[in-house]
Chains A and B, each alone.
Chain A
């Protein structure tokens, strides 16, 4: 065991030294991040119902204010934070006016804690609950940059501005922008509010939390803001075609697309001889779908022959269904052998639950990796080596028989030589 470890360590060290030498010939490594700052907007419901005293003896508004103060203190430096309110200003009864009532309390940008806290302190519960319009505006506030974007919506009631369904608004926002997530928190919600807020969260790959205590609220909002600060790969938007010839050519990377129900998506990847193509795809269900679903990813030659496929099916509650495939292309003796174009076809078998809008399509995430050096393989066992008592027995028996035979042969030879 010790020997084995030493060997492994030695080999690893040698390998590391070699690759390090190749990878960093100059030894200079830039240490700057190229991603822009992550942006978070907190969207707070300041409607009249926030006056209700049912969170640890205080009003919902008081709990929200306290949580905001704690979160503002703990916000990581690199995060650009903004605050938007809904239903904070209009006191009247006109639904039309009330449903326009959303305002930016603190603009998204580098955080000045004192200013932000002062702004929060001025809030008092007032008007309607225009969730949909507020989300649209919040998405506009977060525009620009390629960092992660997050909306944290805190509400205690369902949207009062029908027919604009905030759930569909959220889906539209997610389809427009890349990497925008909406997390929702319900303050002592009823069943309808819970359903609506969790629908908004599901539409964008966010999370829903039910809040009944003060510390739950500050913990969760703090956690969500921290989560925004984690560096994440931002996918590149692409649009697959309905057949291979028109498909976009992809290189190694992370891509996102939308795929409608019953639609197929094609992409192309060039693979040189001696390289291996790895592709994985996840299709997320951002709306109510029927509980049996699947996804199929096929690698097909330009002539339509299937090389390899990845398939997955599932049943029950899920966020994504995903599968992947790999295709090692054999090394060619001919150095000038051309790269092969591999077509990737993605189909999914989600079906929308009744009464659910089918556009925009379901979000699709595609990872493509073209790596050097395909896997080599010659035998079932490592290097064709054997193992086990049967092997030892067979070798001993064979050796013994060979020795015996050799002995008899040489005896026979000696006696033949003697008699002549």
Chain B
């Protein structure tokens, strides 16, 4: 009996320790080499430059250009998009804005972060940020929750003086994401990630031809969506329940043989 109790206590302690540990574990954003990061941005959804998370992409353009990048985001991630615009030496006040769209080109809301900011005249740079909602594995078709797939970043100036149009600017974009884990694990999954042109692409792959694609993400590497730390929590819960059951049962038996039972019975 004592052994069981000790074991029970130990398991409980382990469970308490393991639960939050499993819940809080998040992958550190893989700091990939920036050598192969794109140095140009696209000018439309169709031509968006593809970047990976954790990559620092740069681009040069002109004030007034619409600069597009795209990146993949998977279930349970909460992407943060950060952009820095280096402004020319002399300019008037101008407002820059960062918009994020999902694979269906629906605009995605930013939870927080300065999505648009006005640079004072002659300011050297302007920094923008957007923290998206957590990417869910599934949502109803009528909702516009973020789903795994391609995301587009659009960076542009939205308010400027006419004489500032066309001035050279530099832009820098980086996407990192926080793993939210089981708290955001919903049931269900998409048949295919929300990558534009994925139907055309898989047909092409079968034929073996290589053509330009709308978005090259999504061949593989997407999470299957069945794993979440909810398995750990529920499993530990089951074990603890069993132990508590044994404990409760033991309580009703008292210790040793009942006194009323005559010896030899």
Residues of chain A touching chain B, judged by Cβ–Cβ distance below 8 Å, are 1, 4-5, 7-8, 11-12, 15-16, 19, 23-24, 28-35, 186, 189, 191, 194-195, 198, 205-210, 216, 219-220, 223, 226-227, 230-235, 252-254, 276, 278-282, 308, 310, 312, 316-320, 322-328, 365, 367, 369-389, 391-392, 395-408, 410-411
Q: Per a CB cutoff under 8 Å, which of A373, A374, A387 touches B234?
A: A387
> Which residues of chain A come closer than 8 Å to B226, judged between CB atoms?
382-383
7 pairs, A vs B, C-beta closer than 8 Å: A220-B62, A278-B199, A328-B141, A369-B196, A383-B187, A392-B236, A406-B245
Not counting A19-B220, A395-B244, A403-B252, a sample of 15 additional A-B residue pairs whose C-beta atoms are within 8 angstroms of each other reads A29-B208, A198-B166, A206-B43, A208-B166, A210-B166, A223-B60, A227-B40, A231-B211, A232-B212, A254-B200, A382-B230, A383-B187, A397-B244, A400-B244, A406-B249
Q: Are A398 and B241 in contact (CB under 8 A)?
A: yes
Q: Which 6 A/B pairs are nearest by Cβ-Cβ distance?
A: A407-B252, A324-B104, A403-B248, A373-B191, A399-B241, A210-B166
Q: Are A316 and B187 in contact (CB under 8 A)?
A: no
Q: Is B33 an interface residue (CB 8 A)?
A: no
**Chain A proximity mask over B138-168: 1 for CB below 8 Å, otherwise 0:** 1011101000000000001111001101111
Q: Are B208 and A30 in contact (CB under 8 A)?
A: yes
Instruction: Give A232 to B50 CA distance when docked, in angstroms.
Output: 13
> Which residues of chain B come closer than 8 Å to A1, judged between CB atoms?
22, 25, 27
> Which residues of chain A come closer than 8 Å to B137, judged between CB atoms?
382
Given A252-B203, A367-B196, A404-B252, check contact A382 B228 (CB 8 Å): yes
Instruction: Give A35 to B204 CA distance when docked, in angstroms.
Output: 14
Tell me how far the C-beta of A308 lies from the nearest C-beta in chain B, rounded to whole angstroms: 5
**Interface contact tally, CB-CB below 8 A:** 300
Q: Is B105 an interface residue (CB 8 A)?
A: yes
Q: Are A312 and B106 in contact (CB under 8 A)?
A: yes
Tell me how far the C-beta of B225 lies from the nearest C-beta in chain A, rounded to whole angstroms: 8
Q: Per a CB cutoff under 8 Å, which of A29, A232, A308, A389 touches B47?
A: A232
Q: Are A312 and B107 in contact (CB under 8 A)?
A: yes
> Which residues of chain A come closer than 8 Å to B114, judged between CB atoms?
none
Q: Is B119 an interface residue (CB 8 A)?
A: no
> Which residues of chain B come closer than 8 Å to A310, judged between CB atoms?
104, 106, 144
Q: Are B200 and A369 in contact (CB under 8 A)?
A: yes
Tell me how far the C-beta of B77 lies from the nearest C-beta in chain A, rounded to whole angstroms: 13
Given A34-B211, A278-B104, check contact A207 B43 (CB 8 Å): yes
> Which residues of chain B come closer than 8 Å to A194, judged between CB atoms?
162-163, 165-166
Q: Are B45 and A387 in contact (CB under 8 A)?
A: no
Instruction: Give A268 to B179 CA distance when docked, in angstroms.
Output: 39
Q: Are A210 and B244 in contact (CB under 8 A)?
A: no
Q: Is B79 an interface residue (CB 8 A)?
A: no
Q: Are B47 and A378 in contact (CB under 8 A)?
A: no
**Chain A proximity mask over B6-30: 1 for CB below 8 Å, otherwise 0:** 0000000001000100110101000
Q: Is B255 an interface residue (CB 8 A)?
A: no
Q: Are B197 and A367 in contact (CB under 8 A)?
A: yes
Q: Are A371 and B191 in contact (CB under 8 A)?
A: yes
When C-beta atoms are compared, the residue in chain A nearest to B21 turns out to be A1
Q: Per a CB cutoff under 8 Å, which of B168, B189, B202, B227 touches A4?
A: B227
Given A369-B199, A370-B199, A380-B187, check contact A403 B156 (CB 8 Å): no
When C-beta atoms are compared, the residue in chain A nearest to B191 turns out to be A373
> Which residues of chain A come closer than 8 Å to B106, judged between CB atoms?
280, 310, 312, 322-324
> Which residues of chain A come closer than 8 Å to B223, judged between CB atoms?
8
Q: Are B249 and A280 in contact (CB under 8 A)?
A: no
Q: Are B224 and A15 in contact (CB under 8 A)?
A: yes
When C-beta atoms are compared, the residue in chain B nearest to A206 turns out to be B43
Q: Are B64 and A207 in contact (CB under 8 A)?
A: yes
Q: Are A28 and B214 in contact (CB under 8 A)?
A: no
